[in-house]
Amino acid sequence: MQKFFLQTTLLFISFFGASAVFSQCYSGGPSYCTNITASNVAGYGMGIQNVTLNTAAIPVQINNTTPAGSGSPIYFDYTSMILTAVSGGNVNYSIKGPSGNPCNIRMFIDYNNDGTFGTSSPELVLSLSNVPTFGAGNIFSGTFTLPALSSGIYRIRFASDFSGVAVPAPCGPLQYSAEVEDYTLLVASGTPDAMVASITAPSVLVASPTVNSASFTVRNLTNVNMTSVSAGYTVNGGTATTQTFTGLSIAPGASYTVTFSTGFTVPSIGNYDIKYWLYDVNASGTQATPLNDTICRSLPLLCTGPLSGTYTIDAAGGFTSTNFTSFTNAVNALRACGVSGPVTFSVAANTYVDTLYIPNITGVSATNTITFDGGNGNKATRILTFPTTSAANDVVRFNMSRFVTVRNMTLRSTGATQGWVVHFMHDSADRVNNCNIEFTGAAISSGSSSFIGVVFE
């Protein structure tokens, strides 16, 4: 990362050079399998009751006590819990096993950051067999040594399954619904360093004169607190907005949300490319790993005023002022702009892998209703389907909404372990008319309450 010199004659050169560094968009790190399924789902109590990870230098770190698996969910994201260690250093572990049935437990670390966990050494760090439910053998403690690693973030995964079956694969499927838990390993840098983690705003664009907020999350990769960081953003490659954030105290591995005091406006319907970057961590003028300092998002401006009249949802039709390519985009337009009259979305023939989550929409009333309509006789060819999970359990959700109708469609959950097809949640005067409500896969023969066609709350 180049320094920003004070001399006027060198200022242009410094910004010109920095543009090359801030040109590559970082994805925010690899994606991991989290939709873990099991052939048998119940509260077997064969998960992990405690994970403790620390080092001699930092003895108080991860110490996470949880129930030993209730059946659903199976996957648990504890990546906000961070183990800080040095490259090639020793890590102490303590694992408390199941409470109801004996199990096998394996620990993986994605050392090469490719989004997968190797099932042999070195990424298979630990393999415990036939862990009992009580007694001294219920708790395993020891030490393992990290390989030589670059500074950065790495994913840790624990997986468990019944002791009488094959050892658990990191992504399943499991034979029994035990547990899969993820944590974070931070190998801290000795020089100032940080990475972009995610974009927090905007998630939906609103037309001018409304100002869209701009913010993203950074994570401290340094072995000392991050006390300051500079950041910037552009929209469609325009003039950069920059700002320095001082007075911070962000611990190693912890995150901080950068929120710019100056947002931006967008004038017309279309796609907008937003680029965020960070630089100058702790006023050092350097960045140990510059390739993870920039993150990008492309967002459409879906509307410039309240919706009224007839629109289409057609994945093949392209994005226009009257056509939306997904149910999510149609809902985002409603969220951003509201309605000023009755609104109908005419759904074209297709299978849409999407969800329809309707919140309370500004302007809706008994007159200004919202309708999603596949058309009479067309419900077999207008299919809304989604692989429901514990994190996204519904296909259609009415959440504090009013006067919304979904009709003449097939609504389908393809979730392997759970799913609610239609969820009425604190709503009023919403309707589902003349729709097929379906499950596929294991749900067809399951008697589990995790699969329900229509839920009222």
- Asked if residue 31 is part of any domain, the answer here is no
* 340 or 444, greater pLDDT: 340
| Arithmetic mean of pLDDT, 72-94 | 92
Q: Is 160 found in the same domain as 45?
A: yes
Q: The domain that contains 252 carries what CATH number?
A: 2.60.40.10
pLDDT at 18 over 80: no
| Arithmetic mean of pLDDT, 175-187 | 93
Q: Where does the pLDDT of residue 393 fall: very low under 50, low under 70, confident under 90, or very high at 90 and above?
A: confident
- Asked if residue 176 is part of any domain, the answer here is yes
Q: Is 427 found in the same domain as 318?
A: yes
Q: Is 327 found in the same domain as 279?
A: no
- Closest residue by Cα to residue 68 from 141, 142, 133: 133
CA distance 183 to 76: 9
At which of 187, 210, 239 does a domain end? 187
| Arithmetic mean of pLDDT, 9-16 | 28
429-432: long-range pairs with CB below 8 Å, 24+ = 429/366, 429/402, 429/403, 430/358, 430/398, 430/401, 430/402, 430/403, 430/404, 430/405, 431/404, 431/405, 431/406, 431/407, 432/396, 432/405, 432/406, 432/407
In the block, tokens 């919304």 appear at 404
Q: Which of 8-12, 19-23, 151-155, 440-444 has the lowest mean pLDDT?
A: 8-12
Q: Which of 17-31, 88-102, 148-162 has the lowest mean pLDDT?
A: 17-31
- Asked if residue 321 is part of any domain, the answer here is yes
Q: pLDDT for 138-158, tens place per residue?
A: 899 999 999 999 888 899 999
Q: Is 55 found in the same domain as 164?
A: yes
- Asked if residue 3 is part of any domain, the answer here is no
What pLDDT score was predicted for residue 338? 96
- Asked if residue 1 is part of any domain, the answer here is no
What pLDDT score was predicted for residue 185? 94
Q: pLDDT for 351-381, tens place per residue?
A: 999 999 999 999 999 999 999 999 999 999 9
Q: Where does the pLDDT of residue 27 fall: very low under 50, low under 70, confident under 90, or very high at 90 and above?
A: low
Q: Where does the pLDDT of residue 65 fall: very low under 50, low under 70, confident under 90, or very high at 90 and above?
A: very high
Q: Is 179 found in the same domain as 74?
A: yes
- Asked if residue 323 is part of any domain, the answer here is yes
pLDDT at 15 over 60: no
Q: Is 451 found in the same domain as 358?
A: yes
What pLDDT score was predicted for residue 447? 67
What pLDDT score was predicted for residue 81? 92
- Asked if residue 399 is part of any domain, the answer here is yes
Q: Is 125 found in the same domain as 101?
A: yes
Q: Where does the pLDDT of residue 8 fall: very low under 50, low under 70, confident under 90, or very high at 90 and above?
A: very low
What pLDDT score was predicted for residue 381? 97
Whole-number average pLDDT of the chain: 89
Q: The domain that contains 339 carries what CATH number?
A: 2.160.20.10
pLDDT at 13 over 70: no
At which of 137, 154, 187 does a domain end? 187
Q: Where does the pLDDT of residue 176 fall: very low under 50, low under 70, confident under 90, or very high at 90 and above?
A: very high
Q: Is 313 found in the same domain as 235?
A: no
Overall number of domains in the chain: 3
Q: Which of 80-84, 290-294, 394-398 has the lowest mean pLDDT?
A: 290-294
| Arithmetic mean of pLDDT, 391-396 | 88
pLDDT at 286 over 90: no
Q: Is 332 found in the same domain as 216?
A: no
- Asked if residue 216 is part of any domain, the answer here is yes
Q: The domain that contains 77 carries what CATH number?
A: 2.60.40
pTM for this one? 0.67
Domain that holds residue 207: 8-26+191-301
Q: Is 267 found in the same domain as 297?
A: yes
What pLDDT score was predicted for residue 290? 66
Q: Is 334 found in the same domain as 451?
A: yes
At which of 169, 187, 205 does a domain end? 187
Q: Where does the pLDDT of residue 28 fall: very low under 50, low under 70, confident under 90, or very high at 90 and above?
A: low
Q: Is 117 found in the same domain as 70?
A: yes
pLDDT at 270 over 50: yes
pLDDT at 21 over 50: no
| Arithmetic mean of pLDDT, 174-192 | 91
Edge-to-edge, what's the strand order for the sheet holding 356-358? 356-358, 394-399, 419-425, 451-456
Q: Where does the pLDDT of residue 190 fall: very low under 50, low under 70, confident under 90, or very high at 90 and above?
A: confident
What pLDDT score was predicted for residue 47? 92
pLDDT at 89 over 90: yes
Q: Where does the pLDDT of residue 5 fall: very low under 50, low under 70, confident under 90, or very high at 90 and above?
A: very low
